[in-house]
């Protein structure tokens, strides 16, 4: 049984078959799913969805792409949502300098505000970091008690080692199955086994041999297969390891 630690099932890509798809996940070996929010609206949808399914959990937060919506009022809405039993993290939050549609200063301010909220409510964070590692680490350094996961980890083995030594988890997607996966595989090999979690980041990033299709948690077994080969453990051990890591990360019993 697998834990998809990062899936956007509230995405409109699932509007046509959401309920059927989610209901069918346990049959496909999916034990748990974490659905992070990307904005206030998506966070509310994620929480509503999590309330419907016992195996579905939610995180609340504004992605760097939605950083310009974050103000005291939005933060207060997140604070209230954190009282819901199924909300287990703040995320996804962070910095993305790839497109920079939202100016860096606005992204940093929103990131800091949401890190402060995570500290206040005592929840882990789901970090989205793209081409902004130095600034990201600087902000995280101001919140030493707050830990969580670097989702869709794209950094070096050295960075993975440093982060996990500080108590962070690293999340790996379908990239593990791609032809050019060497960097991700090296990072996964470099960290302690108890710090690795698996995720689809669906609807994006479907693993090989499904690349290009709409992704969903049902494809997570491919990431587990590749990780198991890499770590030289059985499929059952890989599933158990990553399931337990995910539960520890998000504080799920
Ligand atoms: Ni995501």
Q: What is the pLDDT of residues 112-141, one digit of tens each?
A: 999 999 999 999 999 999 999 999 999 999
The pLDDT > 70 percentage for the chain reads 100
R_g of the chain computed on alpha carbons: 17
Q: How far is the CA of 204 from the centre of ligand 1 (A)?
A: 9
Instruction: Supply the pTM of this predicted model.
Output: 0.97
Q: What is the DSSP letter of 30?
A: E
CA–CA separation, 182 and 58 (whole Å): 31
Q: How far is the CA of 230 from the centre of ligand 1 (A)?
A: 24
**Model confidence at 221: pLDDT above 90:** yes
Q: Which two three-digit tokens encode residue 68?
A: 């310009």
How far apart are the two ends of the chain, measured CA to CA in Å?
15
Q: How far is the CA of 192 from the centre of ligand 1 (A)?
A: 23
CA–CA separation, 113 and 70 (whole Å): 8
Q: How far is the CA of 6 from the centre of ligand 1 (A)?
A: 6
CB 53 within 8 A of CB 22: yes
Q: Where are the beta strands (DSSP E) in the chain?
A: 2-4, 30-35, 56-60, 87-96, 125-130, 148-150, 169-172, 196-198
Average pLDDT over residues 25-43: 98
State pLDDT tens for residues 72-115.
Answer: 999 999 999 999 999 999 999 999 999 889 999 999 999 999 99
Selection from 185, 178, 172, 155 nearest residue 241 by Cα: 172
Q: Determine the pLDDT at residue 55.
A: 98
Q: Where are the beta strands (DSSP E) in 17-163?
A: 30-35, 56-60, 87-96, 125-130, 148-150
């Amino acid at each position: 049984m697998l834990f998809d630690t990062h899936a956007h099932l509230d995405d409109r890509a699932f509007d046509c078959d959401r309920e059927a798809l989610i209901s069918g996940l346990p049959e496909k070996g999916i034990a748990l799913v974490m659905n992070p929010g990307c904005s206030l609206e998506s966070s509310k949808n994620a929480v509503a969805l999590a309330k419907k399914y016992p195996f579905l959990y939610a995180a609340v937060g504004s992605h760097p792409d939605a950083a310009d919506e974050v103000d005291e009022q939005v933060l207060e809405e997140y604070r209230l949502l954190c009282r819901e039993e199924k909300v287990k993290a703040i995320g996804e939050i962070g910095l993305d300098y790839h497109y920079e549609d939202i100016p860096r200063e606005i992204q940093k301010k929103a990131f800091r505000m949401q890190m402060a909220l995570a500290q206040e409510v005592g929840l882990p964070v789901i970090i989205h970091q793209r081409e902004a590692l130095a600034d990201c680490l600087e902000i995280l350094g101001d919140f030493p008690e707050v830990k969580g996961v670097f989702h869709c980890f794209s950094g070096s083995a050295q960075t993975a080692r440093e982060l996990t030594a500080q108590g962070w988890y690293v999340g790996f997607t379908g990239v593990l199955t791609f032809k050019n996966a060497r960097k991700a595989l090296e990072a996964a090999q470099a960290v302690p086994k108890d710090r690795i979690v698996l995720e689809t980041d669906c609807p994006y990033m479907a693993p090989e041999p499904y690349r290009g299709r709409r992704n969903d948690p049902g494809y997570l077994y491919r990431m587990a297969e590749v990780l198991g080969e890499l770590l030289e453990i059985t499929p059952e051990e890989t599933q158990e390891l990553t399931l337990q890591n995910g539960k520890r990360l998000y504080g799920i019993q």
